């Protein structure tokens, strides 16, 4: 599709634009991000709308194919391929959600603040997370700036306040409350590597580099092993976030072997890059994610992505430096100065250079404690407030009920949950059919399958348990373990 007009010419700073755009006066626009980006996409957007009349989804695709997204932070550069992919998905997702609300627009420039407000209402009603809402609002706001409407989409807390919701709903969780490492999902990395090798040896090497060097996906796709290998260190600059170079020590024989294998593979590419010479960068990245989906390395299938290999690397480095597991893996507290130093070192290895960022990989004790207390409080409130569950427990002659497993200490509920019960009868065991009925009610209340284990197993294996005292007797809530019952 040729969208170039007769009198248009490319702007130096935005070569994919049809012609430079003269912003409106500052006193009229006063955009949050300043005047630099205001209206830079308006001419292109008009041409796209003319070429794809009445089809805003296709307009979004065509716009981002030609538009170079300016990086929001860091060096003056174009945003990454993944960022562009995310922008397209979030914008099109918002348009589809508007259509589901019977709000249909013909052109992207028809987007209004009122429509975005309706979207936010829907997100809150659907229980969307702060991160999901904030990411979509960012795209809508920047689209407004690029089309010359900087006030189209206010900040998320302001939007929430306008619809009468708590602005704190926009507060994002930057600290991990559950490990995202592949090993935390009971996934064997070696098995993943073998499966990927059968599809593509290069992609298998890329996965191994992520685990053993903590590389990002784009860094592995653009990896130049000959240029990066400095002997005892790996000097990385291609594909890094913000173009920031970093150095990663080469300390193990396995790391050295991986680099040597990568060099052999990279010789087939005249640029010395660890990727197929017949694919352009965006094609190589897309092919990589396609191969990951083929082996089930997605959040939908295995509950983890290849980024989980980077999380595994980060947690392993923290344990190597401190001698204890990270907070998100249940590690004990260490002296504050020692922890900050360790986080700074891990941050530099990951290419972030800010110790605070490591909380997304390692967690921190304060946030974990707060989250677990909130999880326990929510679990007790739901189960102990159920009249149906209370009556069923009374009917079946149950004297004590425990939530069993990680959830008892406040961990988020996984794919299922477990309970155990005791009766006043001989042996204290609940009949299997009664246990199934009670488990079904608990599962319906919590929205997850619930299984009942015998009281004997609970007591003998010393599994952590949270007693639901409010269901069986009127006394203070308490957390207990099976020892001593």
Whether the pLDDT of residue 50 is over 60: the answer is yes
Q: Which residues partner with 419 through β-bridges?
A: 403, 452
Highest mean pLDDT among 259-273, 310-324, 390-404: 310-324
- pLDDT tens-digit readout, 194-243: 999 999 999 999 999 999 999 999 999 999 999 999 999 999 999 888 78
Pairing, β 450-453 against β 417-423:
parallel
Crossing angle, helix 336-350 and helix 307-322, to 10 degrees?
140
- pLDDT tens-digit readout, 104-141: 899 999 999 999 999 999 998 887 888 889 999 999 99
CA distance 208 to 258: 8
User: Which of 281, 290, 292 has its CA nearest to residue 204?
Assistant: 292
* DSSP per-residue letters across 95-118: HHHHHHTT---SSGGG--HHHHHH
User: Which of 371, 467, 13, 385 has its CA nearest to residue 176?
Assistant: 371
User: Which of 106, 107, 118, 116 has its CA nearest to residue 147?
Assistant: 107
Tell me what pLDDT residue 115 has: 95
Contact 483, 462 (CB under 8 A): yes
- pLDDT tens-digit readout, 163-189: 988 887 888 777 888 889 999 888 999
Provide CB contacts within 8 A for 284, sequence distance 6+.
Answer: 221, 275, 276
Domain spans, the chain: 26-170, 182-316, 372-472
Confidence label for 317 from pLDDT (cuts 50, 70 and 90): very high
Grouping H, G, I as helix, E, B as strand and the rest as coil, residue 53 is coil
Whether the pLDDT of residue 425 is over 90: the answer is no
Confidence label for 477 from pLDDT (cuts 50, 70 and 90): very low
CA distance 66 to 93: 20
pLDDT: is 202 or 477 the higher one? Answer: 202
Task: Report long-range pairs for 112-115 (Cβ below 8 Å, ≥24 apart).
Answer: 112/152, 113/151, 113/152, 113/153, 113/154
DSSP conformational letter for 403: E
Element (H, E) at 395: helix 387-395
* Mean pLDDT of all residues in 442-465: 88
* Mean pLDDT of all residues in 396-421: 89
Class for the domain spanning 372-472:
alpha beta
Residue with tokens 């040729």: 2
Tell me what pLDDT residue 473 has: 67
pLDDT: is 40 or 74 the higher one? Answer: 40
Torsions phi, psi for 251 (to 5 deg) = -115, -20
Whether the pLDDT of residue 479 is over 50: the answer is no
Contact 147, 110 (CB under 8 A): no
- What share of the chain in percent tops pLDDT 70? 89
DSSP H helices, 148-200, are 156-162, 189-199
Pick 182-316's CATH classification: 1.10.443, 1.10.8, 3.30.530, 2.60.40.
1.10.443
Specify burial of residue 284 (Cβ count, 10 A radius: 0-12, 13-18, 19+): buried
Whether the pLDDT of residue 322 is over 80: the answer is yes
User: Which of 68, 75, 80, 74 has its CA nearest to residue 239?
Assistant: 80
């Amino acid at each position: 599709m040729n969208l170039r007009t007769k009198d248009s010419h490319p702007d130096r700073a935005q070569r994919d634009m049809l012609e430079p755009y003269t912003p409106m006066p500052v006193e009229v626009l006063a955009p949050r991000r300043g005047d630099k980006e205001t209206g830079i996409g308006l001419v292109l957007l008009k041409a796209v709308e003319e070429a794809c009349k009445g089809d805003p989804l296709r307009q979004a695709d065509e716009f981002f194919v030609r538009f170079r997204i300016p990086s929001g932070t860091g060096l003056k550069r174009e945003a990454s391929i993944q960022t562009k992919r995310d922008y397209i998905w979030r914008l099109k997702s918002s348009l589809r959600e508007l259509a589901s609300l019977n709000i249909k627009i013909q052109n992207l420039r028809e987007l209004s603040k009122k429509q975005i407000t309706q979207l936010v209402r829907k997100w809150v009603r659907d229980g969307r997370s702060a991160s999901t809402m904030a990411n979509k609002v960012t795209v809508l706001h920047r689209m407004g700036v690029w089309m010359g409407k900087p006030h189209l989409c206010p900040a998320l807390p302001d939007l929430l306040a306008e619809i009468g919701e708590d602005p704190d709903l926009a507060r994002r969780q930057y600290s991990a409350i559950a490990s995202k490492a592949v090993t935390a999902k009971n996934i064997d990395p070696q098995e993943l590597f073998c499966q990927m090798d059968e599809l593509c040896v290069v992609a298998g090497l890329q996965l191994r580099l992520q685990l053993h060097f903590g590389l990002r996906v784009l860094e592995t796709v653009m990896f130049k092993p000959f240029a990066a290998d400095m002997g005892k260190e790996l000097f990385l600059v291609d594909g890094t976030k913000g173009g920031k170079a970093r150095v990663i020590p080469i300390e193990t024989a396995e790391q050295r072997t991986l680099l040597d294998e990568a060099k052999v593979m990279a010789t087939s590419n005249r640029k010395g890059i660890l990727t197929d010479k017949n694919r352009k960068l965006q094609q190589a990245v897309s092919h990589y994610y396609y191969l990951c989906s083929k082996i089930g390395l997605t959040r939908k299938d295995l509950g983890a992505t290849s980024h989980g290999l980077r999380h595994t690397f980060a947690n392993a480095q923290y344990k190597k430096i401190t001698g204890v597991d990270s907070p998100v893996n249940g590690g004990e507290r260490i002296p504050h100065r020692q922890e900050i130093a360790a986080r700074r070192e891990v941050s530099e290895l990951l290419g972030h250079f800010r110790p605070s960022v490591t909380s997304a990989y390692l967690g921190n004790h304060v946030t974990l404690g707060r989250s677990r207390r909130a999880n326990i409080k929510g679990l007790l409130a739901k189960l102990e407030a159920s009249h149906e569950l209370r009556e069923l427990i009374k009917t079946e002659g149950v004297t004590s009920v425990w939530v069993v497993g990680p959830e008892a200490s406040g961990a988020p509920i996984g794919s299922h949950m477990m309970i155990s019960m005791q009766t006043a009868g001989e042996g204290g065991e609940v009949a299997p059919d009664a246990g199934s009925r009670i488990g079904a009610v608990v599962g319906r209340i919590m929205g997850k399958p619930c299984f009942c284990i015998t009281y004997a197993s609970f007591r003998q294996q010393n599994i952590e348990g949270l007693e639901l005292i409010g269901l069986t007797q009127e006394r203070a809530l308490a957390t207990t373990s099976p020892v001593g019952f």
